[in-house]
Structure formats: C-alpha cells, structure tokens
Amino acid sequence: MGQPPHGQQGHGQAPQGYAHAQPAQGYGQGHVYPQGPQGHPQGPQGHAYPQGPQGHAQGPQGHAHGPQGYAHGPQGHAYPQAPQGYAQGHAYSQGPQGHAYPQGPQGHAYPLAPQGYARGHQGHAYAHHHAGYPAAVRRFDPDRRLRIAGLWLWAIGLIAGAVLNVLFTLLGVIESGGSMLSAMLVGALFAFPPLVLYLFVPMIIDRYDPEPWWCLLMAFLWGALAATGFSILINTGVHIGVSSNFGEPAGELVSASVSAPFAEELFKGLGVFGFFYFLRREFDGIVDGIIYATFCALGFAAVENVLYYARASMQGSDVLAGTFVLRGVFTPWLHPLFTSMTGIGFGLARESSKTWVRAAAPIGGYLLGVALHAVWNFLPTALGRAMGDIFMPWLLLWLCFVASFFGIIVALVIRKGWVIRDHLRDEVALGMLTQDELELVCSPIGRLRCTLGWRGATGRSFIRAGARLALSKWHTARALQGRNRTLSADFIGPLRQEIAQLRHELLARAPR
C-alpha cells in the first residue's frame, strides 16, 4: 500500500529528538513516536507505550498484542488477527455490542485499504496517483472478475433456456395444427398483467435495503427463460420415458410429483445461487435470499401459467376461468413459497460463519422446497377427479401456510432493520452520521419520504449507502468471529466516503 503524503499526522521524517519507533505487531510502519524512557517507543501526545507482559509489545491506546496472534483490546478483550487474505497485524477494536472492527486512525474503526490503495484520512481508500500522494478517489471493485463470470453464465443460461422454450413451443404448435399459437396468446393475456401486482408485493416488503432493480430483473428473467427451458426439457423427457414403459398415468404421476419438483426447484435455485456466489455484495442474508427466490419463481410461474391457460382456453372459457381463479388468484405464491426455502438456505449460509451451516443450509432448503412442491403436485395428480371432495380444505390449508410464511418474512425484514440500526450507532458516535440521518436510514418509509420531499434521488442513495455500510460491518464482524475471509470489509471505507459525499450534496440542497 502506498504511503500518505508527508506531514500527515506524524508520518515522514521524525523531528529532532523523536525516533521512528518499531511498531508493535499489528501497527503500521512510519508512525513517529517521541522517544520514551529506557528505549521504549513513546506514542502521540507524549504517552509512552511500555513493554507488555511476557514480552508482548503494547500498542497505542493500550492495545497489547497477546500470544498466538490475538491482540488485547480495551478492557482486556482479545480479538483475533485478520483472517486469511487480509493484511496481518492490524489491531481490531471493540465495536458496538462486542463487534470487532479493524483499528483506524484516532481510535476509529476502519477497514484496511484494498490492494493498490493508500489509506487516507479517516480510513478512506485513495487510488495512487504519484508515489506518496493520493489522487482522485475511485470505487474499489474486488469482485469484478467474479461478477463478469457470473454475468456470462447468466447470459448463456438465458439464451439456452430461451432456445429450448421456442423449440418446445413450436413442437406444440405443430402438434395442435396451429391452434396452440392463438391459445398461447390468450394465455399470455391472462398470465402477464397480474405480474404488476405480484412483483410489487416483495418490493414493498423489503423496505430497509431493497435490491437493485437490475438484480430483480435478472432474477425474473432467469426464472422465466432459463429455469423454464431446462425444466421443460427434463420433465418432458421423464414423462416420455416413464409413459412408454409404464403407461400414461404413471408418466403423469412421476413427471408431476418427482421430476417437476426436483428439476424446477433446482433450476430456480441456481438463480438464487448465482446472486449468493457471484453478487455477494447484493446478497446480505435471509431476506435477500427470499426476495431473489420470489422473483425467480414469479418469472417461472408466469411462463408456466401461459401454458396452463393456453390448454385451458382450448377446452372452453369455463375451464379457462376456473384455471385462472385457481392459479392466478388463490395460488400465485406457491412457486415463490417453494423456491423461498432454497433462498432461506442460501441466506442462512450467507449469515453464518460455521462451515457446516454454510454447506448444509442451501441443500436442506432445496430439499424442503422439493418436498413442499411434491406434496402439492401429488394429491391432485394421484386422486384425479376424486380430489374434488377434499379440494377446498386442501386449498385453505395451503393458503394458511402461505399467510404464515408472509408473516415470517415481515418478521425477518424487521430484524434486518434492527441489524442496520445496531451497526450504525457507532457511526453517530464517530460523527459520520447524525441522529436524524440514522433515523432516516432506519425508517421503513425513509425512501418514500425522500421521494416525496426535497432529498429526492440523492436521499434514496444516502439511505442505500447507509444500509449497505451497516450490513457490510455486520458481515465483517461475523466473519472475524469465525476467522473467515469476507469481501464486505473492503466496502466499509468506500461506503463511508460515499456517505460523506452524499451528505455534502444533501446539505447543499437543504431548504434554508
């Protein structure tokens, strides 16, 4: 990392009578400390830092480096050194509620500057311009290659899925003598307009840190094109294979109750995995997993409904009306419910620092989603017309299940708001935020207040940056507890800088 400009806070050549003290393990080179007694380095403001117990050197503000890589912080708290992939030796200070953060200048907690950046004032990272001098600030992007790879895989999956959808649609039109084409147009008219309402609901629920519109669009398109295309290929192949060997009823039962749950939840779940792995900065936990799963599932359900409504319209308007009421009014949230189990699994993996949870949670969530999907498909397929006797109680049971799940989602969103508030309180103490700004970021209607008030789009960006800062600190603290590597720490400094810039813009436009 580059050195800051000469003369900042004692960096550079030591004045006469001052010595460059060899910093204790965990403290950066080049700090000027007055010479203390008996050769001990003396810290800023004349404070001498004596040798710690048992030969462990003691750093500024009483942080003594303890044995086996642990740094003793204030009040005797011990914090581990930086996880693998982070610069070693930086002291971690006590954050709110016991959270540990990298130690910055003046006792403030700031992350290390990413590779190729110099640590500037108040922990902000500056790109090198000339040796020892910071240039214009640029946004650090540590996962750019990963995101580009994910984008390519997403595009390839979309193209392949779209081709499969077109091929199977053409086969259906040819088999029906052309009547299927007009029926699919009718099905599209019934399937897509309700999406305006369906897509609005999860966007309302995720109030504190809504996902970017382009992420939601990517999730929707993956479900609508990639997941449907590959699922049709597998389900059709299973149906043909089982039917040819065991008869048509067996083919219907196996494809609906076995093939469809496993294949559909797998390919919808791959969309959630893509955000979890390739776009981790936009995937913070359980709520985000549910949101991405919901949009993948709504895209899938919309295209699937086109086929169901098309087949129903070919049997008569009364059949079409009944199918629309069942799939479009009573059960539009079943696909989101099934896939949200996978989303919850990936959300738990994102939040946890335990290896076994990160491995088992996504698999367990996927299998639970498969089980729910299989149960829903099995009874109507197996019972056929006899299902009519128990259909209403069966439907009411599922509606109660969906309503309970929505209640759980609301509780998880409220929890997310608490996490954001808890990890921004120290920003108020450090002067990075005011109390009013904290309340704005943590308000469930903060974005609406900005839209209708004078803050506008700048205010919404400020809220998003504040929420991202809090969640990045949350992930960093959890990673440090498990001694894991996380990219979230790299975003804390740049996010603080972005907040400072947005505050300046808001103050300039504030009503006088």
More confident residue, 281 or 64: 281
Over range 68-81, report the average pLDDT.
40
pLDDT at residue number 216: 94
**What pLDDT sits at residue 61?**
42
CB burial of residue 85 (10 Å; 0-12, 13-18, 19+): exposed
pLDDT digits (tens, 9 = 90+) for 190-238: 999 998 888 888 877 877 778 889 999 999 999 999 999 999 999 999 9
Report the predicted TM-score, pTM, of the whole model to 2 decimal places: 0.69
Angle at which helices 260-278 and 228-246 pack, to 10 degrees?
160
**In this predicted model, what pLDDT tens digit does every residue of 488-499 receive, in sequence order?**
788 888 899 999
Position 168 confidence tier, pLDDT thresholds 50, 70, 90: very high
Is the pLDDT at 130 greater than 60? The verdict is: no
Angle between helix axes 391-422 and 435-442 (nearest 10 degrees) is 160
Confidence class for position 352, pLDDT limits 50, 70, 90: confident
Is-contact 465 497, C-beta < 8 A? Answer: no
491: buried, middle or exposed (CB in 10 Å: 19+, 13-18, 0-12)? Answer: buried
pLDDT-derived band at 282, boundaries 50, 70, 90: confident
Is the pLDDT at 252 greater than 70, yes or no? Answer: yes
Q: pLDDT by residue (tens digit) across 387-433?
A: 777 888 888 888 888 888 889 888 988 899 999 999 999 999 888 89
**SS3 at position 130:** strand
The DSSP call for residue 222 is I
Nearest Cα to Cα of residue 333 among 429, 418, 276, 405: 405
Among 283, 281, 330, 282, residue whose Cα is nearest residue 305: 330
* Band of pLDDT at residue 117, cut at 50, 70 and 90: very low
Which stretches of 192-227 are DSSP H helices? 195-205, 213-221
Mean pLDDT, all residues of the chain: 77
